Amino acid sequence: GRMKRLRRHGHESQRDRLKQELFQFNKTVEHGFPHQPSALGYSPSLQLLAIGTRSGAIKLYGAPGVEFMGLHDENAAVTQVHFLPRQVELVTLLDDNSLHMWTLRVSPFVDLSLPLQVNIEADVLSHSFLPLVYPYTPVSSSVPNDYIGRRNLEHVEALQENPVNPNQVVIGYGRGLMVIWDLKKRCAVQHIPATQQLESVWWTEDGSYILSSHSDGSYCRWMVGEEDMNEEEEKSDIPYGHFPCKAISKIVQLSTKEGPPFLVFSGGMPRASYGDRHCITVIHGKTHVALDFTSRIIDFFVIREDPSALVVLVEEELVAIDLQTEGWPVIQAPYLVPLHSSAITCSHHISVIPLKLWERIIAAGHLQNTHYSKKPWPITGGQNLAPDPPQRDLLLTGHEDGTVHFWDASGVCLYPLYKLSTAGVFHTDADPNDNMNQGTEGEWPPFRKVGCFDPYSDDPRLGIQKIHLCKYSGYLTVAGTAGQILVLELNDEAAEQTVEAKVVDLLQGQEGFRWKGHTQLDVREEPVLFPPGFQPFALVQCQPPAVVTALTLHSEWKLVAFGTSHGFGVYDYQQKNSVLIKCTLNPSDQLAMEGPLSRVKSIKKSLRQSFRRIRRSRVSLRKHHANNAAKAELAEMELAPVQRKIEARSSDDSFTGLVRMLYFADTFLSDSSHHTPSLWAGTNGGCVFAYMLRFPPVEHRADEPVTAHPAKEIQLMHRAPVVGIVVLDGRGTPLPEPLEVAHDLARSPDMQGSHHLLVISEEQFKVFTLPKVSAKMKLKLTAVDGSRVRRVGVAWFGSSRSEDYGENGLLVLTNQGDVHVVSLPAVKMQVHYPCIRREDVSGIASCVFTKHGQGFYLISPSEFERFSLSTRHLVEPRCLVEPPPQSGTSTQHRPRPAYRYAHSEMLFYYGSYYILTVFMRLSSLPRNASQDGGHDAGKVFFRGL
């Protein structure tokens, strides 16, 4: 016995060592656009962009692939971000009045030494660090007589340094008064007596003028001189005036090498007619454009180099405008792309795309992007040290407006390649005259729509619920909210064709059911011109027109299988004919007849409220999570099982007939010597149906029918929903994908030994022998903590030590948000890690696994978190930011310490090249109590670069 124990122990430690070579969990990068951005910063010397969010995250971006992320302890909004001049440091101000200094540490090691303590002298505007202005400053002692005693300065609204004399700053007060203050002499040099409520100031580059913008939609130009000026010298302009206008919140004027300067300002629109527009106006000589954005403007900056680009952060996207090309086109962004330009409803990942298909998708995408500028992305800071991705991967996202977006998911930047729209096949409520892009000649204000965020879906029935792409044949199938299934083929030329609908009645004449949900979409009878790219050539319309819940395509057999809450079917897209229709509806399944769109509004609302609660009680420090209410329909299907009890369910549960899983396999169904094509379907009620498929001889494939014959039916004892079906060949390897063997990318399955069927339900993994379908072994998920399998995928894990060793495994996500790897064919738990917070229902519902052990899930409506369970397949930023060469100025001189800090700590590090540390934290800003202790501290400003 002792010998046996020792041997087993030796084996276990060897297995543990192997596990460490195969599996490790990392959250690697956040793709998409930060949820609820609240502040923007830019460093011309580092060429880095910084975005702060309402949940206290801070993100830095440079050249594509250069990304950093950090998170403040405080769950408070970032209100300002400022880079320190010519240093790899930045300061953030939160709306709880705390100040934080961050530094980018460049080191291949985790540097745990305490960062420098930086102290800010608060009662003096000391320019050796950065001027910091509190609501009431010593400056008020030099206010002209007619302001004294009226306490009507309000707090400091604006602060700007003189670009040609760093000893001078202009301080602007809320009521309009501006004071030019000399930092060395500590006295006022000039008073500028503006009378309107002040919004912002700008000091022109030659130092000769100050521009001020005001709450009444006006801006003024003031000459900088030694003397105080009279009010007559004020040159005031209300660009959109005559009628009352909204405030101009920020104004910038930049000179050009030759020709007139650029004037850029946000706001100022006529209140009554265009008060709801989000505009930035650009004026250059005779060219005057009001850029009209689809969400609220947060901030903007202009990149110099004889102004080359205007970069605008709005609530839902980041837009860069090329100011050097005629027409000022938008520059396509390599990152921060709004994934949610229409709400995401599903996603699908395909690994290792063949080069030919990749090039054809890119070519189709190029034709769609001719309106973009030819100029490269203008933010180029840092160096991307990551090697080129080893393979080409696609992530496809389906959206509420019936579009499918194709993303390059090979590297750190999730880059848009191509967009497919399915709406053209149907008549929708969209009014063709509704195109807001066309500004009419001579229209005032001269609007131009910019940005791609467009949350308003023409018709929610268009929403894409399932996607399946065959990377070898270029066939694609997408299915939607109103029971529509489209089969598409990649075509490099535009083509005009009629798409005829094949109606499939899934109720199969069952009595007593009346569909109470939405109607089907109307198909256009006339031919439609489809642009180059994926073009629909076949359409299946399910009756009732319920959400499609399962979909798969077999490109060798030219078949598509689809399922809803009422049943499933198989469609032959070569002959455009039905092969099989099976009703799975239980006589008591009345709920399945209601249709989700009737209840979407209330569900979206309740999801949103629970997400707000989650954000307030944010548990996780390392990541900011704010969640998504985009997947309303899907969430509805996903929510139902969450509330189920653990005991066996009675068959009168609602949605028992809902089809969760469809799987084509060439395997042994009748006897162990003849394998045959088959279809497997799994339902919400724990039922598995298997059908044998018979094909005519090759030469008659086009005219003789394919037939389907019922072969097996398995009812799981616990009636738990079936979430996965996999057939393992004689070697215990999952069957290859269609055409994979033909393309020499997988070895032929072993058809000598016996096959096994693995059925994964929400509660257990069960292995059956084929063709007998007798139970062989099972692995139960613990019923104690109510763990349920939510998502499952087959993945290949390569060893980090030896290039040629690897194992197949099952990736599993539970309703607790844990991810597990289960070995194949032995079905043993290997590793598990906490990944998504269990309250994050929609994050869990949105998760998609890749074939190489990675995954994506939505952490907000606009961001995917990417993670990996594999040691070999990791996509994470690897980059370097070095401080720019120092010019002659002494930036090292620091003022004397005035305050101690509550704590300074290491906050976050990422990849292997850089560390982000929180530098210091001021618990609160000192106030000048004698003035007005209870007053809100107004704004804090730092000198720009």
863-870 vs 23-32, strand pairing mode = antiparallel
Cβ count near 800 (within 10 Å) = 16
Q: Are 47 and 378 in contact (CB under 8 A)?
A: no
Average the pLDDT over each of 178-192, 435-449, 562-576 and give the range with the smallest value: 435-449
Q: Is 55 a domain residue?
A: yes
Q: Is 5 a domain residue?
A: no
More confident residue, 632 or 648: 648
Residue 130 pLDDT exceeds 50:
no
Average the pLDDT over each of 292-296, 570-574, 699-703, 871-875 and give the range with the smallest value: 871-875
Going by pLDDT thresholds of 50, 70 and 90, the confidence category of residue 142 is low
**In the 8-state DSSP scheme, what is residue 96?**
T
Average the pLDDT over each of 149-153, 461-465, 800-804, 899-903 and give the range with the smallest value: 899-903
The stretch 232-248 carries a mean pLDDT of: 85
Average the pLDDT over each of 137-151, 343-357, 388-402, 775-789 and give the range with the smallest value: 137-151
pLDDT on residue 589? 76
More confident residue, 195 or 485: 485
Q: Is 504 a domain residue?
A: no
More confident residue, 931 or 47: 47
Quick one: which of 642, 833, 793, 629 has its CA closest to 720? 642
Q: Are 420 and 406 in contact (CB under 8 A)?
A: yes
**Which own/partner pairs from 507-511 qualify as long-range (CB within 8 Å, at least 24 positions apart)?**
507/543, 507/544, 507/566, 507/567, 507/583, 507/585, 508/567, 508/581, 508/582, 508/583, 510/583, 510/585, 510/587
pLDDT on residue 848? 97
pLDDT on residue 812? 97
Paired with 319 in beta bridges are: 312
Calpha distance 189→182 (Å, rounded): 6
Cβ count near 141 (within 10 Å) = 10
Going by pLDDT thresholds of 50, 70 and 90, the confidence category of residue 605 is very low
Surface-to-core class of residue 261, CB atoms within 10 Å of its CB (0-12 exposed, 13-18 middle, 19+ buried): middle
The stretch 874-880 carries a mean pLDDT of: 87
Residue 759 pLDDT exceeds 70:
yes
Please state the domain count of the chain. 1
Going by pLDDT thresholds of 50, 70 and 90, the confidence category of residue 229 is low
SS3 call for 1:
coil
SS3 call for 699:
helix
Q: Is 325 a domain residue?
A: no
Q: What are phi and psi of 15, to 5 degrees?
A: -65, -40
Which two three-digit tokens encode residue 368?
Answer: 């769609």
Q: Are 663 and 468 in contact (CB under 8 A)?
A: no
Calpha distance 459→430 (Å, rounded): 8
Going by pLDDT thresholds of 50, 70 and 90, the confidence category of residue 121 is very low
For the domain that residue 89 is a member of, what is the CATH number? 2.40.10
Going by pLDDT thresholds of 50, 70 and 90, the confidence category of residue 398 is very high
Percent of the chain surpassing pLDDT 70: 78
Quick one: which of 667, 665, 695 has its CA closest to 679? 665
- pLDDT tens readout for residues 579-594: 999 999 987 777 788 8
Q: Is 105 a domain residue?
A: yes
Q: What value does the mean pLDDT of the chain take? A: 81
Which domain does 47 fall in, by range? 34-128
Which two three-digit tokens encode residue 385?
Answer: 């040290």
Calpha distance 417→173 (Å, rounded): 48
Average the pLDDT over each of 69-78, 167-176, 763-772 and give the range with the smallest value: 69-78
Q: Are 472 and 740 in contact (CB under 8 A)?
A: yes
Quick one: which of 420, 415, 412 has its CA closest to 395? 415
Going by pLDDT thresholds of 50, 70 and 90, the confidence category of residue 828 is very high
Residue 889 pLDDT exceeds 60:
no
pLDDT on residue 359? 98
The stretch 141-162 carries a mean pLDDT of: 66
The stretch 853-877 carries a mean pLDDT of: 94
The stretch 377-391 carries a mean pLDDT of: 91
Going by pLDDT thresholds of 50, 70 and 90, the confidence category of residue 653 is low
Question: Alpha helices of 877-940 — where are they, by DSSP H?
Answer: 929-932
Q: Are 184 and 175 in contact (CB under 8 A)?
A: no
Calpha distance 266→250 (Å, rounded): 6
Average the pLDDT over each of 507-521, 585-599, 723-737, 788-802 and give the range with the smallest value: 585-599
pLDDT on residue 134? 33
pLDDT on residue 386? 87
Which two three-digit tokens encode residue 558?
Answer: 């030219």
Calpha distance 212→176 (Å, rounded): 9
Written as one letter, the residue type at 533 is G
Residue 410 pLDDT exceeds 60:
yes
Stated as kind and residue range, the H or E segment containing 176 is none
Q: Is 613 a domain residue?
A: no
Going by pLDDT thresholds of 50, 70 and 90, the confidence category of residue 144 is low
Average the pLDDT over each of 63-77, 124-138, 218-232, 463-477 and give the range with the smallest value: 124-138
Calpha distance 91→920 (Å, rounded): 9
Quick one: which of 683, 768, 769 has its CA closest to 722? 683
- CA 275 to chain CA centroid, nearest Å: 30
Quick one: which of 936, 899, 941 has its CA closest to 920? 899
Q: Is 88 a domain residue?
A: yes
Q: Is 91 a domain residue?
A: yes
